Amino acid sequence: MNLSTNLGGLTLANPLLPASGPLSGDADKLLWLDGQGVGALVTKTISTKAAEVPRPCITGGRDWLHNAELWSEFSPDHWVGKFLPQVKKKSSTPLIVSVGYTQADLEALVPRLEPFADAFEVSTHYVGTDLAAIGRTVEAIRRLTAKPVFLKVSPHLPDPVAFARTVLSAGATGVAAINSLGPTLGIDLATRSVAWGNPQGEVWTSGPVIKPLALALVRRIKDAEPGCVVIGTGGVQSAEDVLEFLLAGADAVQMLSAALLKGKDLYAKILAALPATFEKFGFASVADATAARLKPYTPRWEPRVAVVDKATCTRCGLCEKICPYFAMTQAKGKAAQADPKLCFGCGLCQSRCPVNAISGPLTAG
């Protein structure tokens, strides 16, 4: 199985990368990630001064992560004088240096980081939505480096496609989509107060919960700009997720939040599962998946009534409880059934059945 991929001229052994964040915040962490076998390394975002980080700063739920961290808590002097030389001395894995945020910041940082970077990822998370200003920032970066440059897409941007077109025309290689979602809020009912966050009491949300948004924006950008190199990030937690992002239009993917929610060894687990997953869905390589893309989708307007397999149904009653059209009933001791006069064919029951006993609404074709 050939898992290698080309990322804007960089040859990666596989498409799984860490995302910029707590797990990539110093040399030891980056070298640990290298030992997991990732295709490239991505630093925590470096800015012109060290960040002051509130505590607590990271909390997690079943499928979400709240993070009040900003950029790296270490100065650029520390990165240039210690961390980056250590990483380059001990690792031959491509190194993507994440930098931010303003044009002035980047003009000061890129020349210092250039000797260590194989590529740059640029975050503009805190600089607003002025595409003209972002374009000028990219032009300034491009004057300072010939290496691949990827701009990170903030999900609050009103037009991600316009963002991609702006940065590409200014000289960027591609984009990383998407950054964390926010600002968001956590509340402690017991104390009637904000639970954690920055001085405004706000955090950023990432993890599996944002995957549908990330997939949609990756696909939208790639469909609009087929030549754009795209790094998909946001919600990856399995080998299947990696394949979904590749089919949506990504050339590689990043993961961080799921590793904090499920365990840091998730990188190695996903990489071990990739060959079998690709084979299961009929792909012989990463290149096959990126070339395949998603098939065009045509909505179907006629409802298909839910059909319950009586032998598989466990009589749990969930479908009856959740049906928004009151079409499902589950009499005591009997399998559930749908009233064809009431069933809207919405698909909710089929998607939520714990034993896959329902067919019909979501059937392809």
Let me know whether 256 and 308 are in one domain.
Answer: no
* Domain shared by 216 and 348, yes or no: no
Q: Return the minimum-mean-pLDDT range out of 24-28, 143-147, 192-196, 252-256.
A: 192-196
Task: Let me know whether 150 and 247 are in one domain.
Answer: yes
Query: Domain check: are 243 and 130 in the same one?
Result: yes
Return d(Cα 344, Cα 346) in angstroms, integer.
Answer: 5
Residue 359 belongs to domain spanning: 299-365
One domain, residues 271 and 314: no
**Strand pairing of 65-67 and 58-60?**
antiparallel
For 53-70, what is each residue's pLDDT tens digit?
Answer: 999 999 999 999 999 998
CA–CA distance, 114 with 207 (Å, rounded to integer): 31
197 burial type by CB count under 10 A (0-12 exposed, 13-18 middle, 19+ buried): buried
pLDDT, average across residues 195-205: 92
Each residue's pLDDT tens digit, 309-361: 999 999 999 999 999 999 999 999 999 999 999 999 999 999 999 999 999 99
**DSSP line for 65-100:** EEE---S-SS-HHHIIIIIHHHHHHH--S-EEEEE-
DSSP 145-191: --S-EEEEEPTT-S-HHHHHHHHHHTT--EEEE---EEEE--EETTT
Among the candidates 257, 292, 327, a domain finishes at 292
Q: Report yes or no: 262 and 237 within 8 Å, Cβ to Cβ.
A: yes
pLDDT for the residue 128: 76
Cβ–Cβ < 8 Å for 164, 131: no
Contacts of 262 (CB under 8 A, 6+ apart): 237
Q: Averaged over 87-105, what is the pLDDT? A: 97
Grade residue 129 by pLDDT with cuts at 50, 70 and 90. Answer: confident
Is residue 160 scored above 80 in pLDDT?
A: yes
At 18 the three-state DSSP class reads strand
Instruction: Kindly calculate the radius of gyration of the chain based on its CA atoms and give it in whole angstroms.
Output: 23
- pLDDT above 70 (res 365): no
Whether residue 234 sits in one domain with residue 209? yes
Q: What are phi and psi of 17, to 5 degrees?
A: -120, 155
Co-location of 322 and 248 in the same domain: no
pLDDT, mean of residues 116-144: 92
Is the pLDDT reported for residue 280 higher than 70?
A: yes
Which of 275, 292, 309 delimits the end of a domain? 292
Query: Do 309 and 283 share a structural domain?
Result: no
Q: Where are the alpha helices (DSSP H) in 5-50?
A: 27-36
Instruction: State if pTM tops 0.75.
Output: yes
Q: Span 202-209, mean pLDDT?
A: 96
Q: Are residues 104 and 225 in the same domain?
A: yes
Residue with the two structure tokens 């052994």: 13
- The b-or-e profile of 268-281 (16+ CB within 10 A means b, else e) is eebbeebeebbeee
Provide the domain count of the chain: 2
* Same structural domain, 232 and 333: no
Tens of pLDDT, residue by residue over 134-159, are 999 999 999 999 999 999 999 888 99
Run of H or E including 245: helix 239-248
Mean pLDDT (the chain) is 96
Residues 321 and 210 reside in one and the same domain: no
Express each pLDDT in 216-273 by its tens digit: 999 999 999 999 999 999 999 999 999 999 999 999 999 999 999 999 999 999 999 9
